[in-house]
Amino acid sequence: MLEVVMNKPIMIALDFPSVSQVNQFLNQFEDPSQLTVKIGMELFYQAGPEVVKQIKQRGCKIFLDLKLFDIPHTVEKAMEQLGALGVDYTTVHTLGGQAMMEAAKRGLKAGAEKAGLPEPHLLGVTELTSISQTVLENEQNCKLPMNEQVVALAKLAQKSGCDGVITSALELKDLTSALGTDFEYVVPGIRMQQDAAGDQSRVATPATAKADGAFAIVVGRPITQSQNPIAAYERYIKDWNLK
């Protein structure tokens, strides 16, 4: 397997409906401890915290992507539970506002401290990569251009104590210009040119995302649904590692 730049990870989205399919997928890798994987709503709601523990036993780094969005007290108490699970990254919606994101940060810190674990990185979700400018204007009633909306939400996340944001690659240049390069920009909607975009509206290749300032990228179906997941993963690593 090609060597990954571990401090700038490719996060594999484990969007499977069952733990058995997750294990089937991970068993194909000679050393799963080198992987960073994303556990999303589909898998977590089916299997619960136990799946996090099982995958953690393999040595994987874990991005638990539940996109919490509720009143500050509820989010804080939920984050205490997530902070005690031993995940490395987790998410909160930036549209929930500063008080909610600050509460999320407090909860993560408290949960991790109680469990004697490192505090997970808190990432703020800006606009989903499935949201187009048309949807932003006509359904969310936001009159800002997409890049200005994402930058505004990212600034609020940074002010609220988040470690980074989830953003499409198309906003990266604006974000690094406005917020600097020390913030963690995690980019879903990553596709090689030959791969289908699926339900993603704002996509980019790994090399483009990295050149524009991405801290990490998230790749799901092009790897997990490939006939040869190892080869697909290595293809993405190779492009991600391009200088």
- Phi first, then psi, for residue 81 (nearest 5°) are -65, -40
**% of the chain at pLDDT higher than 70:** 92
Is residue 145 part of an annotated ligand binding site? no
* Dist CA 53 CA 58 (whole Å): 9
Is residue 26 part of an annotated ligand binding site? no
Note the pLDDT of residue 73.
98
Note the pLDDT of residue 7.
66
Is residue 70 part of an annotated ligand binding site? yes
- Residues taking part in catalysis: 65, 67, 70
Indicate the average pLDDT of the chain: 91
Is residue 71 part of an annotated ligand binding site? yes
pLDDT at 202 over 60: no
Residue 177: how many CB atoms within 10 A of its CB?
A: 11
- Phi first, then psi, for residue 212 (nearest 5°) are -90, 0
Tracing tokens 């998410």 back to the chain, one arrives at: 91
- Model confidence pLDDT, tens digit, residues 129-163: 788 899 999 999 999 999 999 999 999 999 999 99
- Model confidence pLDDT, tens digit, residues 42-96: 999 999 999 999 999 999 999 999 999 999 999 999 999 999 999 999 999 999 9
pLDDT, average across residues 8-24:
94
Angle, nearest 10°, between helix axes 19-26 and 49-57?
20
Q: Which domains does the chain carry? A: 10-240 (3.20.20.70)
Is residue 213 part of an annotated ligand binding site? no
Note the pLDDT of residue 192.
84
- Phi first, then psi, for residue 27 (nearest 5°) are -65, -15
What does pTM read for this prediction? 0.91
Three-class HEC string of the chain: CCCCCCCCCEEEECCCCCHHHHHHHHCCCCCHHHCEEEECHHHHHHHCHHHHHHHHHCCCEEEEEEEECCCHHHHHHHHHHHHCCCCCEEEEEHHHCHHHHHHHHHHHHHHHHHHCCCCCEEEEECCCCCCCHHHHHHCCCCCCCHHHHHHHHHHHHHHCCCCEEECCHHHHHHHHHHHCCCCEEEECCECCCCCCCCCCCCCECHHHHHHCCCCEEEECHHHHCCCCHHHHHHHHHHHHCCC
